[in-house]
Amino acid sequence: MKKTSTRLADGRELIYYDLRDDSVRDAADRRPLDRTVTTSEIRRDPLLGDSVAIASHRQGRTYHPPADECPLCPSAGDRLSEIPDASYDVVVFENRFPSLAGDSGRCEVVCFTSDHHASFGELTEEQAGLVLEAWTDRTSELSHLPSVEQVFCFENRGAEIGVTLQHPHGQIYAYPFTTPRTALTLRSVAAHKEMTGGENLFDAVLERELAGERVVLEGEHWAAFVPYAAHWPYEVHLYPKRRVPDLLGLDEGARTEFPKVYLELLRRFDRIFDGRDGGEGSAGEPPTPYIAAWHQAPFGALEEFDGVVREDFALHLELFTIRRTSGKLKFLAGSESGMNVFINDVPPERAAQRLREVASS
């Protein structure tokens, strides 16, 4: 992997990640951009104890542009985009309309490929491995910023999720606090550790799932399963078998195997609702919308979680779709949005069975 860092016309950082060591990235951003101005601030809810990012400048962000005006495609001729070069393998750059900025953290965009019409699931294993390297490198770099306590790499795919740019891409949020979801998990880890005299909760969950009926696929270094209490109709958790707190902790074997396992999961998600391949839908069903989210240990102090250290956390990826059956979506209604109590219409055991049945050829 070759890494090349440069600056866009408004001062934002852009980084090329190339498969070839001889790649030259010296194209300049020719757009007449003013310096980026953001109004992001973090407000804490005194009742719930969580934090909300207020970012009014995002109202003016790019919204469903035509393909020939996509800001994530390479620049070509007089059509200038966020990527000055005429081609790229993987690119990461600071978001022009960030939810978090300055003392409130940082937001970055990760472009998985220059092919506007591709998807992550259509990448080669070599390309997917390069994305993993980019995620890992950004986690390392962002963790050293004084305003950053937790790094979150994720992908939103599909208009149903709310994606406004159709080019295959993901994002990285670097939060100035430990997120509420992670804090809740750490409290459960702490309670389990105390109750069992030191047993790790993540290890116990993985051991139980691997011995059960909800395993979707398993490799030498990774295991994917539908969790016992899945919140979403089709939800898969992907764990390295050796517990590590973050992407930086993965060994060479896990890094090498990850692209094959993850690409297989994504392709099965697309086949669930594709009638041509044994799915329950009809041929031509739109690609499955999904969210893919990496959960990593915070880099800040963990004193509030009694007896827990970073190494107690287990890196894992959660992949889920809001589609509950062909042509129907799972909406977060009163119970979910109002009380955070999920109601899942698809039994996790059935979801795991379907994901095994649609193994890609």
- Do 66 and 108 contact (CB within 8 A), yes or no? no
Q: 32 is written with which tokens?
A: 């007449």
Q: Residue 288's CB: how many other CB atoms inside 10 A?
A: 24
Instruction: Could you list the beta-strand ranges (E) of the chain.
Output: 2-7, 13-18, 41-44, 51-54, 90-94, 106-111, 150-157, 169-175, 215-218, 222-225, 234-240, 290-295, 316-321, 323-325, 328-329
Catalytic residue selected from 57, 167, 169, 316: 169
Rounded Cα–Cα distance for residues 238 and 305 (Å): 25
- Do 269 and 319 contact (CB within 8 A), yes or no? yes
Q: 305 is written with which tokens?
A: 């979680």
- Do 315 and 251 contact (CB within 8 A), yes or no? no
Q: Cβ contacts of residue 298 below 8 Å, gap of 6+? A: 149, 150, 178, 182, 310
In the numeric block, the tokens 């020719």 are attached to 30
Which of 316, 326, 335 is closest to 289 using CA atoms? 326
* Known catalytic membership, residue 64: no
Q: 358 is written with which tokens?
A: 């649609």
Rounded Cα–Cα distance for residues 319 and 193 (Å): 27
- Do 91 and 170 contact (CB within 8 A), yes or no? no
> What one-letter code names the amino acid at 302?
L
CB-based burial label for 147 (10 Å; 0-12, 13-18, 19+): middle
Q: What are phi and psi of 154, to 5 degrees?
A: -155, 165
3-state secondary structure of 50: coil
- Do 225 and 210 contact (CB within 8 A), yes or no? yes
Query: Which of the residues are catalytic?
Result: 169
